[in-house]
Structure 1
Amino acid sequence: MVTSTTRPGHGTVFVVTESHGDKIAFVDLTSPDAPVQSETVVGAAPWAVAVHDASRRAYVSTAVGLAVVDLDSRERLALVPFQAQPSVIEYGEERPGGTGVVVTPDGSAVYVAITRTGLNSTVERFDTATGAFTDSFEVGLRPFDVQISPSGHEVYTIDHDSFTLNTITVPEHVVTSTEIAPFGTEGGLMSHYKPHYAAVAEDGTLYLPYQGQGLVVYSPETRTYETQPMTGDSHQHGVGLTTDGRLMVVGVGPIGGATKGPSLTIRDIASGEETLLPLEKGHENVIEWLDAPDGRRKAILTGGSTSRGPWNGLAIVDLDSLELDEIAVPDMPQMGVLIAS
């Protein structure tokens, strides 16, 4: 997951992981001709980044540990090995090591998912005061994403290969698993009708898209869900919410039962109405950007798709006119967060 304690959508610098390298990039979204201000080495195959604004710290999940970065100096302060440290370094969506990561609102703890080869994944708790991992909790298989409730009292793993969502209570650390399989589990590991990423609304509701054919609306209170129809019909990965009540979902293309090409779906949460923007390239994730120089509400799409057609850049989409621009960023940028310049 991408998390920050700043107001959602605000900031002009996009801190993004270079998933096929070993760095994060600080991208100035207001300077498209020379966007990459600087890069910081964090560790091989960085996946996701979580930011705690008050302490000016970024936490980056990599294949080889959790990197701690000072946002002011842009220096890596530490690279802490996981308790379940991988024995090999690999790249791509099936690699072992850290994936989703979140930081608690008070900045006291970081929770990072660890994919383990041939085993269920774990979530490890990192204590920011001591700079050490303190606990480990078994979850499902290959969580692409980790989310946290608005209050910080629950952490969620989106377990791609086990069709599950695991809830970890904070600070009690009780783990509860819920099957999320609106299209069934037939096909198992070969199925594409599985969860990838989720977005959490201010009321705590989680939204998980499936193949551009169904949107799971999950209630943490009851641990139940309903499935609403979608029109994108594209293998979907990243998902984000806007501050004006829209859901944004990126589609990779016609994979595993989905028949349409890459796209951005913009869905009105209240009405369910969808606008579909066909794209020439696949994308991995999407977040809202509110501080564009022209005052327009926009979306940032990361080019480093871990599934199909990864590319070295970001797409910037005007959410009303649907006009699109591209910014070059190296090594297949995957997940990022906005910070103040």
Structure 2
Amino acid sequence: MVIRTTTPGHGTIFVVTESHGDKIAFVDLTSPDAPVQSETVVGEAPWAIAVHEASRRAYVSTAVGLAIVDLGSRERLGLVPYLSQPVDIAYGEERPGGTGVVVTPDGSAVYVAVTRAGENSAVERFDTASGAFTDTHDVGLRPFDVQISPAGDEIYTIDHDSFTLNTISIPEHIVTSTEIAPFGTEGGLMSHYKPHYAAVADDGTLYLPYQGQGLVVYSPGTRTYETQPMTADSHQHGVGLTSDGRLLVVGVGAIGGATKGPSLTIRDLESGDEEVLPLQKGHENVVEWLDAPDGRRKAILTGGSTSRGPWDGLAIVDLDSLAVSEIAVPGMPQMGVLIASS
């Protein structure tokens, strides 16, 4: 099985949002004693980051607009307000403003999910040539995550509070909503059996974990899914795919029906076999790292959990020995991407 990862896994600089501040941090993973090389102010409560390598641009969703950052100079080039601009600035997972963000493969457009107080969220399209938002499309409630298909012809929103996955076609911008509720919708907004993040494989399949109890395997072609059993029994948030065919899922802890503590699940997608590594702290997201100095395959876990117990740092997990180390990063780092050192 060939897996497509959200980030390629290569690079030694991890660019990560400081979710309880207003910056992104450039973290040198090879220098654990002094990891933060520099910080760039992007805007209050940054959530996610998408990188277009060819243009060396990073796009950061914040509570107050889309920040554009030059990765060479590490300077913010602009902060563009949303079409649905929040009235109040807040922090944490229920704040209004930008959440998930993706950039198209050709770099021509950026799509940002924008949570709107008291109504459904929207996905806004940002045109990189004109430097402006051009249109908006209604989706579900509070999308934590936005993903893009391998071909770049569909956008997917993972709508936490409405149990939905919305598909937006490109360039037509036709929106289609699919209910994703493997454990039902009982409890509504109070339920914890809801989607948070997804990972997309090379064949277009989406993987969405639920509470360490079920893994939704969603086919965009048919807009149908099956649910496979999971074993972590932990409230799960971030998810990533490795280049050797494994799924990585971070568990926050015993919340909303899940009974076990924080963990990292390492799942073989061919066999369904899982290895669950208990952790002392909760995390929000996970990214594969292929360029560790010792040549070992590792995972980077961000400490800025939006659900329980956020902390100022990253955990580095050796995916073979399961050894865990930590790197200090301020601002409760939430979501990041790897880039080359220069």
The two structures have a TM-score, normalised by structure 1, of 0.98
Letter aligned with residue 29 of structure 1:
L
| SS of equivalent to 1:15 | strand
Structure 1: gaps spanning 5 or more residues: none
Q: Is the 8 A contact 1:46 1:61 kept in 2?
A: yes
Q: Distance in 2 between matches of 1:7 and 1:162?
A: 27
The 8 Å contact of residues 6 and 339 in structure 1, kept in 2 or not, is answered as: no
RMSD: 1.1
Equivalent residue number for residue 39 of structure 2? 39
Quick check: 1:12 aligned with 2:12? yes
Aligned residues of 1:5 and 1:105 also touching (Cα < 8 A): no
**Equivalent AA in structure 1 for residue 220 of structure 2:** P
Q: Which residue of 2 aligns with 1:135?
A: 135
Q: Does 1:103 align with 2:103?
A: yes
Residue correspondence of structure 1 range 193-232 to structure 2 within 5 A: 193-232=193-232
Identify the residue that residue 158 of structure 1 maps to in structure 2. Answer: 158
Matches within 5 A, 1:1-341: 8-341=8-341
Amino acid at match of 1:284: E
Kept in 1, the 8 Å contact 2:239–2:286? The answer is yes
1:146 and 1:184 map into 2 onto residues whose CA distance is: 22
- SS at 1:145 equivalent: strand
- SS where residue 130 of structure 2 aligns? coil
> What is the CA distance between 1:71 and its match in structure 2?
0.2
Normalised by the length of structure 2, the TM-score is 0.98
Give the gaps of 5 or more residues in structure 2: none
Flag as ranges the 4+ runs of structure 1 deviating above 4 A.
4-7
Counterpart contact for 2:111–2:125, Cα < 8 Å: yes
Query: How big is each residue's C-alpha offset from its partner over 1:253-295, in whole Å with a ceiling of 9 and x where there is no partner?
Result: 0000000000000000000000000000000000100000000
Q: Distance in 2 between matches of 1:294 and 1:115?
A: 41
State how far apart, in whole Å, the 2-side matches of 1:297 and 1:223 are: 33
- Offset at residue 170 of structure 1 (A): 0.5
Judge conservation of contact 1:5–1:52 (CA < 8 Å) in 2: no
* Identity percentage of aligned residues: 86
1:168-215 CA distance string (max 9 Å, x none): 000110000000000000000000000000000011000000000000
Contact 1:121 1:142 in 2 (8 A): yes
Distance verdict in 2 for CA 1:218–1:6, change over 3 Å? closer
SS state at 2:59 partner = strand
The count of aligned residue pairs is 338
